Amino acid sequence: MTKLAIISPGDMECLLKHLGFGRKRQLGSHIFYGHSDGRCTTIPFHQGEDLGRGLIRKILRDIKLNPEDYERLRQNYL
């Protein structure tokens, strides 16, 4: 199992947009993203905080992306 790289919520948003996700709604500091095929996830945007590995894993499960593809996308697009 690979150790996931920690990224900021803004960088995760860029990856989601690259994958075809769009903002659906916002509740406080949490922004909900959805895809036309029905996949959805939530990203918390807290001032000065990066996303933890557990939360990144949860987001990857929500969007059905494996950790290897995540690392490849992160290195190519960020």
Cα–chain center distance at 16? 6
Whole-angstrom distance, CA of residue 51 vs CA of residue 5: 10
pTM of the full predicted structure? 0.91
Residue 21, pLDDT score: 98
Question: What's the confidence (pLDDT) of residue 3?
Answer: 86
Contact 9, 33 (CB under 8 A): no
Domains delineated in the chain: 9-77 (3.30.920.30)
pLDDT digit string, tens, across residues 57-73: 999 999 999 999 999 99
b (16+ CB within 10 A) / e for 17-30: eeeebeeeeeeeee
pLDDT on residue 77: 82
Give the per-residue pLDDT at 78.
77
Q: Identify the segments of the chain with pLDDT beneath 70.
A: 1-2
